[in-house]
Amino acid sequence: MTFYEMALESDQIGGHFEDIDMPRLIDHQTKFVSSLVGGPASFSDDRIEAVHRHLKISHADFDEMAALFSEALSTHGMEDIHIKIALDAIESKRAIIVARDAA
């Protein structure tokens, strides 16, 4: 929840979360992050790209999301090494999350 509160307040990415079913998004994001770090959920790259394509996410948006996610994990006591593992996993999906025509 900390991450989503921060994201909603962000001037950079807050707009991406307007008019979103937050409980549904949180459920999907939890499963997505879990799958990236070896959890039971699985998302194909095609599916990940499809659900983000219409959002026109820029590299700056992606960077902001990663920074806020890192801050939220740190706030809740996750060790730096584990934060790095999570962020590296998310970074590995940048090419399919960021819009192809993004600057």
User: Tens of pLDDT along 28-79?
Assistant: 888 888 888 777 777 888 988 998 888 899 999 999 999 999 999 999 999 9
pLDDT number for residue 10: 96
pLDDT number for residue 36: 80
The identity of residue 93, as a single letter, is: K
More confident residue, 31 or 83: 83
- State the sign of the Cα–Cα–Cα–Cα dihedral 57, 58, 61, 66: positive
Averaged over 5-24, what is the pLDDT? 92
pLDDT number for residue 19: 86
Q: What is the DSSP string of 64-102?
A: HHHHHHHHHHHHTT--HHHHHHHHHHHHTTHHHHS-TT-
Statement: the pTM of the whole predicted model exceeds 0.85: yes
Place 92 in a pLDDT band, splitting at 50, 70 and 90. Answer: very high
From the CA atom positions of the chain, what is the Rg in Å? 13
Residue 103 has pLDDT above 60, yes or no: no
What beta strand segments (E) does the chain contain?
A: none
